Amino acid sequence: MSHATDKPLWTPSAERISRSQISEICAQLNAKHAQTLRTYRDLHRFSVEQPEYFWSALWDFAGIKGTGHANEVLRDGDKMPGAQFFPESRLNFAENLLPLDDDSDALVFWGEDKERRKLSWRQLRALVSSLQQQLRASGVGLGDRVAAMMPNMPETIAAMLAATSLGAVFSSCSPDFGDRGVLDRFGQIEPKVLFVCDGYWYGGKRIDIADKVASIIAGLSTLKAVVVVPYAGNDPGFAAALPRAVSLSDVITAFPPKPLEFVAVPFAHPAFILFSSGTTGIPKCIVHGTGGVLLQLVKEHRLLCDVRPGERVFYFTTCGWMMWNWLIGGLAASATLLLYDGSPFHTNEILFDFAVAEKMNVFGTSAKYIDGIRKTGWEPKSTHDLSSVRLMTSTGSPLAPESFDFVYQSIKPDMHLASMSGGTDICACFVAGDPTGAVWKGEIQAPALGMAVEVWDDDGKPAGPGQKGELVCVKPFPSMPVMFWNDPGGAKYHSAYFERFDNIWCHGDFAEWTEHGGIIIHGRSDATLNPGGVRIGTAEIYAQVERIPEVVEALAIGQDWDNDVRVVLFVRLAKGAALDDALVKTIKQQIRVGASPRHVPARIIAVADIPRTKSGKITELAVRDIVHGRTVKNQEALANPEALALYSNLPELSK
C-alpha cells in the first residue's frame, strides 16, 4: 500500500539542488559524454545503462587514490557473480580514508557522559602509525586478519586503518556479544591480532568483560597479540592479566609515530569480513573487497548524502553492524566523524545534545530510535537548536509513516529526511535518499545510483507500482561480496543470492514501488529476525536456549509489532517442566549472556510441537505466516503440518 499524500513533506530549494554534488557530476558527465543529464533520475538511468562510464566518472569525481583504473572498468559485466570492476587497478583503503594531515577534527567521541574527546587528522595519523608498526611487529601482512571486539570509539577506527593500510583484512563486533557469539564469528576467520577494550559503559553502568575476553583469547589459537584499549578504567592491570596482551599506551611508547606506509592491493582484495545473522547455523563470513566498498561508500556519502569536506557526520551504530563500516566512509569525503558509544537513551536528549554541541550536519540513526523519541511525547525542536542539521538518515528497519510526520513536525521542518535500505551483504544501500528530490510520507526516495534495482513477482516479472514483490538487482555492482570465507567453489555464496533467479541478485526484502518512483520495504522475506533494525539469526538464539535442560527445542520468529519487529520464542519443554516465571528468567538470561541483549525475545510461549520439514528442519517461515494470519503454502513439505494449528490466534501475541 502506498502512503501517498497530496503533497510531499519536504522539497529541496532550487539553490540546494543546483549546489548539490549530484548536479556537479551530471555537468561533468554531460561535458565528457555528450549527455543531457539534469536530474537524479537521469543520472540513475545513466548509471545502470552505462556502468563503465558512471563508475569511472565517480572514481575521478571522488579523487580516489590508485592506479590502473583507466585501463578497464568492467570485465564480464553480464555475470552475477563473476563480474569484475577495475580488474587492473591497485589502491589502498586506508590511504583513501586519510585525505588530510592537519589540526582540524577527524574524530569526535562521546562515551555517554563518561568520556569526551577529539582527534585531529594529524593525531589520527599518528595513532594509525603506532598501530601499523605494532601489527607489522606481530607478523601481520597481506591478507592476514585483524579483529576487534570494541566500542565505537576512535581507537577502533585507527585499528581498522592500520590493518587495511597493510593490506590486512579487518573484522569487528561490539563488546556486548557473548563469548560464544564472538568465537562463532572470529573463530572462523583466524585473526592474528585482536583489539579489545578493558570494559565499556552502558546506561551509566560500567560493564566488566575480563572473564569474557580471557575466554575469547583462549578460543582463538591463531592470535599473536592482543591490544587492550583503555575505556572503562581497568587498564593497565587488565592487559597484564591476559596472555599475549599489550596495553595501547605501551604500543604508543614502543612505536613512536613515523610516516605511514600504504600497501597497494587489487580492487577485489579483501578489506572487511562482515557476518550474516546466522539464521541457519553459525554466521556466514561475508568478504568485502577494497575498491568495491570504497567506491560505494564514497558514492553514498558524497552523492546520496551530499557530504562536503569539513562537514560533521554522525551515525548511531555499534561495531557489530555494517553501519559502522558505512560511517567510516565519511573520512574519504574529508568529513569529521562524530562517534557515540553507549545507550542512545542514556538521557533521552543525549544524541540531540551531541548534535547541538558538535554542530552536526548529518544525523544518522535507526527507525526504532526515531519511533522511541516520538513515543516519549518530546519535541526536540522546542529544546534544541538543530540549525546545523541538514540531513537525517534512518535505516535498520522501515521508517513508519507516522515517524516521517514526527520528524518534520517535531524535530526540524526544513531538513532532508532519507530513509535507506541495503545490507551487510553489500555494505551499501540498494535504495536510499536523493538530496535533490522530494520526500514523501512512508517512502524511501529512490534506487541508489549504480544499482539496477527492480521489484519482481513470484514468476520473475517486474512488478508495477503498488504491487509487492522481491527486491532484486539485475546488474552487477562493485560491492558484491568477493566471496564467503571458507566457501570453496562458492556454493554458499551462490545459494545466498542467486538461487531463486539465475544471474539476478535476490536480496530477501519484500518491497513495492510507489507512484512517485519511491519504494516501500515491507520487511524481510526470509526468516531473519530484525528487532530494532538489528539483524539477528535464529540459530544464535537456539544455540543458547537448547543448553537449558528444561527446553527440548525452540523456534523463533519476528512478529510485526508496533512499527517494528519483536522476537517471539516458542519452546517445547521436557516432560514435567513448566514455563513459569523462573524458567522464563533463566531463558532470557542465558540468551542475554551467551548471545547478546538484542537477541532476548519479547515473548516466550510454550508449545506442544514444532513444525518441521520431512528432512527434519524446523520451519520458521511457516510459523511466522500462521502468526500473521497468512496462508502457509507447501504444507505437504511438512512432516507434521497439524502442528501449525498450535500457533494460530495465540492470545499472548495480541498484547
Indicate the domain borders of the chain. 14-92+269-524, 120-263, 536-654
pLDDT in tens, 100-157: 999 999 999 999 999 999 999 999 999 999 999 999 999 999 999 999 999 999 999 9
232 phi, psi to nearest 5 deg: -100, 10
C-alpha distance across the termini of the chain, in Å? 25
At residue 177, the pLDDT reads 86
Q: Of 293, 325, 286, 275, which is closest to residue 85 (Cα–Cα)? A: 293
With pLDDT > 70 as the criterion, what percentage of the chain qualifies? 96
With pLDDT > 90 as the criterion, what percentage of the chain qualifies? 80
CATH of 14-92+269-524, one of 1.10.220.150, 3.30.1310.10, 3.40.50.720, 3.40.50.12780: 3.40.50.12780
The overall pTM is greater than 0.75:
yes
Do domains 14-92+269-524 and 536-654 share one topology? The answer is no
Residue pointed to by grid coordinates 530494532 = 532
- Does 614 have pLDDT greater than 50? no
At residue 655, the pLDDT reads 84
Instruction: Quote the radius of gyration of the chain (alpha carbons, Å).
Output: 24
At residue 510, the pLDDT reads 81
**Fold classified for 120-263:** Rossmann fold (3.40.50)
Q: Which residues pair with 559 in a beta bridge?
A: 566
Q: Of 304, 367, 362, 295, which is closest to residue 329 (Cα–Cα)? A: 295
577 phi, psi to nearest 5 deg: -85, 150
How far is the C-alpha of 150 from the C-alpha of 156, rounded, in Å? 6
> Helix (H, G, I), strand (E, B), or coil: what is residue 586?
helix
The cell for 4 is: 501517498
- Does 636 have pLDDT greater than 70? no
Give Cα 640 distance to the centre of its chain.
37
pLDDT in tens, 321-362: 899 999 999 999 999 999 999 999 999 899 999 999 999 999
At residue 371, the pLDDT reads 84
How far is the C-alpha of 427 from the C-alpha of 481, rounded, in Å? 9
Mean pLDDT, rounded, for 242-246:
96
Mean pLDDT, rounded, for 561-587:
94
Residue 458: pLDDT band (50, 70, 90) is confident
**CATH class for the region spanning 536-654:** alpha beta
How far is the C-alpha of 175 from the C-alpha of 185, rounded, in Å? 13
251 phi, psi to nearest 5 deg: -65, -45
